Amino acid sequence: MAHLARGAVSTAAAPLLSLRTCDRGVVSDPDAGSLTWTIVDVTTDARELSPSTVAGPVTVDLTADRIADATGHFAAVGNPLIPSNAEDGAHEIRWSWTVDGKTHTYAERFDVLEGVPRGLGGGYALVSDFRREDVCEEGASTVRLLRLIAEQSQEIERWTRRWFEPRFMEIRVDGTGQNTLLLGQPIIALSSVKIVDQPIAVDFDSDELRVYNRHLTGMLEPDDRVSPRISLPLLRWPYELGGTWSGLFSSSPSIRRSFPAYEQNVRVEGIFGYTDPDGTHLGKTPDAIRRATMLLVQRRLPSLADTDAAFDAQEGHRVKRIKTRDQEIEYDQRLVAGTLAITGDPTIDRLLTPFMSALRVGST
């Protein structure tokens, strides 16, 4: 999620909003002239039901608006991207494109603000989320909310050892000598896989690689986000040699191709992140993560100088009994069954526990 200032300029060299286009789990370019974007105003409940257009539709130039010459990576270019008369609050950029004639759509929500300090603006919640919960400017300024959203979002990533939005990166892992390779982070789409410098075809129709990201289609049993991996399929001799199957090979043993055992010899490039299926190619940030972010920020809203309010916000959930006359206080030390002690707040811990990544233990 992003926060953008009114009147801000977005270019391919310095994009404010961008899109990675994919098809069936493979990063790919859209059909020429098919990629468009529109920004709509959803600042109120009424506009949620009937959004008004703020900018667009704009057809993306697949050459001029491409970011860093990367496949499938394009910027929403505008000078300004957000008109100077746009209202503060929630907006959406809505993308549409085709790949081989098949239509794809994707929407990303962001906030329009008067200004956004450098280094802030990201996170798993929006300032408008708090304003809709009646957290007013007097209770928490926009800049303070931006700082706390970014800070608590980073804390969630540190605790869970995961991130909850699509991120493009290269992951280098050790080959294991086996045909299956664990990647650690859930796979959304792949761009390339190489063993040293030898590429493996990642095309959806190729038989060279199996990619476990079925969660994006809504298949959650098994949930590939829990054990993200790629594998080299078992092939028989005639297929390896490009021949035709015959009885001569029916008893031939399968050939187990493998990722050779060596340090960081496998490079996997693509889009990764723990997102929930929503019918799009990238998925969405889980609602529970957004809610946990808001609750964590809420605990930090009182200033340190307001000791009573800060105590109530951060420790109030632990209070079991208070005796006002003797000023006695008793804390509840019990843990909620099935919940990890992450923050100490059972409400937040219940939200975060399902997203915890298992610790990896190695030996030498």
The overall average pLDDT reported for the chain is 84
279 within domain boundaries: no
Domain enclosing residue 218, as ranges = 167-272
237 within domain boundaries: yes
346 within domain boundaries: no
Condensed to tens digits (0 to 9), the pLDDT of residues 68-113 reads 999 999 999 999 999 988 999 999 999 999 999 999 999 999 999 9
- From residue 328, give the alpha-carbon distance in Å to each of 69, 166, 308, 310, 331: 65, 49, 15, 19, 10
308 within domain boundaries: no
Condensed to tens digits (0 to 9), the pLDDT of residues 117-135 reads 888 888 999 999 999 999 9
231 within domain boundaries: yes
The span from the CA of 141 to the CA of 146, in Å, is 9
The residue among 146, 54, 148 whose CA lies nearest residue 92 is: 54
Looking at the structure of the chain, the number of domains it has is 1
DSSP 250-311: TTPPPB-----SEEEEEEEEEEE---B--SSSS-B--HHHHHHHHHHHHHH-S-TT-HHHHH
Which pLDDT band holds residue 248 (cuts at 50, 70, 90)?
very low
347 within domain boundaries: no
The pTM of the full predicted model, rounded to 2 decimals, is: 0.83
Does residue 40 register a pLDDT over 70? yes
287 within domain boundaries: no
62 within domain boundaries: no
Give residue 315's Cα distance to chain centre.
Answer: 30
**Average pLDDT of span 177-205:** 87
**Of residues 59 and 323, which shows the higher confidence score?**
59
Which pLDDT band holds residue 172 (cuts at 50, 70, 90)?
very high
